[in-house]
Amino acid sequence: GQQLNQSPQSMFIQEGEDVSMNCTSSSIFNTWLWYKQDPGEGPVLLIALYKAGELTSNGRLTAQFGITRKDSFLNISASIPSDVGIYFCAGQLMKTSYDKVIFGPGTSLSVIP
Amino acid sequence: DAGVIQSPRHEVTEMGQEVTLRCKPISGHDYLFWYRQTMMRGLELLIYFNNNVPIDDSGMPEDRFSAKMPNASFSTLKIQPSEPRDSAVYFCASSPGHGATQYFGPGTRLLVL
């Protein structure tokens, strides 16, 4: 079945540093989503991407939909302590009916003040 | 808007007992999803409903799991009998339409002893 891989699995960075993480798939997706999960909470959508090559920003976050439609990237600039959490990528292949969203295993981010 | 509401937030039970998890989706959302999250398997979609009708239950682990949505504002996920390997965080999410963003509830943390 469809599977997503995320790298790195975990990151420990200093406050103020930039962060890059990516997500790859063996399958093509029409939609890429990036979610963040805070400890003890449910995932919250950060950015949604709908077109190959699309680059979208949300504050200090920037995400890109890969040209091959098999990957996506998330960058966080000037990290702060509240960026701590697990970042999930998710892919969806929308055809004529609803296709379920496939989630990656997540990248755990720790920010050292 | 109150967001997706789940209850209970925490549940501890003994093996063999029946467990019922509850979810109230965001008003007006036509899609409702049940997910299970574990360290080993990440976020897995168990089942989803559209307009109260189950559309895809291929992720339900086995017959011990069942889900219902008797009306647009309420859904249950039942495990009977529960087993220790069912211990996980169970999330409910809702979405306003075809291909739209999913909004997650805070989750129910289940521990089966």
The Cβ of residue B62 has, within 10 Å, a number of other Cβ atoms equal to 8
- pLDDT for B107: 97
Query: In the predicted model, what is the mean pLDDT of chain B?
Result: 94
Distance CA B101, CA A72 (A): 17
What's the pLDDT tens digit per position in B50-94? 999 999 898 998 899 999 999 999 999 999 999 999 999 999 999
Q: Determine which of A29, A88, A98 to mutate to test the interface with B (most B C-beta atoms within 10 Å).
A: A98
- Residue A81: strand, helix, or coil: helix
| Cβ contact B42–A41 (<8 Å) | no
Distance CA A27, CA A96 (A): 18
| pLDDT above 80: residue A96 | no
Which among B42, B98, B106 has CB closest to A41? Answer: B106
Query: Does residue B62 or residue B14 have the better pLDDT?
Result: B14
What is the biggest distance separating any 2 CA atoms in chain A, rounded to whole angstroms?
Answer: 47
What's the pLDDT tens digit per position in B38-50? 988 889 999 999 9
**Out of A39-43, A81-85, B8-12, B38-42, least confident range:** B38-42
Distance CA A101, CA A78 (A): 30
Distance CA A90, CA A67 (A): 16
Reported confidence tier of residue A71, pLDDT bands at 50, 70, 90: very high
Contact predicate B56/B48, CB 8 Å: yes
- Count interface pairs A-B at CB distance under 8 A: 41
Q: Residue B111: in which H helix or E strand, if any? A: strand B108-112
Provide, as residue numbers in chain A, all residues whose Cβ is less than 8 Å from the Cβ of B50. Answer: 98
Contact predicate B48/B27, CB 8 Å: no
* Residue of chain A nearest B101, judged by CA positions: A45
In B36-55, the residues whose Cβ lies within 8 Å of chain A are 42-43, 45, 48, 50, 55
Q: Hey, is the C-beta of B2 within 8 angstroms of any chain A C-beta?
A: no
Distance CA A30, CA B54 (A): 24
Q: Are strands B31-38 and B88-95 parallel, antiparallel or unpaired?
A: antiparallel
- The mean pLDDT of A20-38, rounded to a whole number, is 93
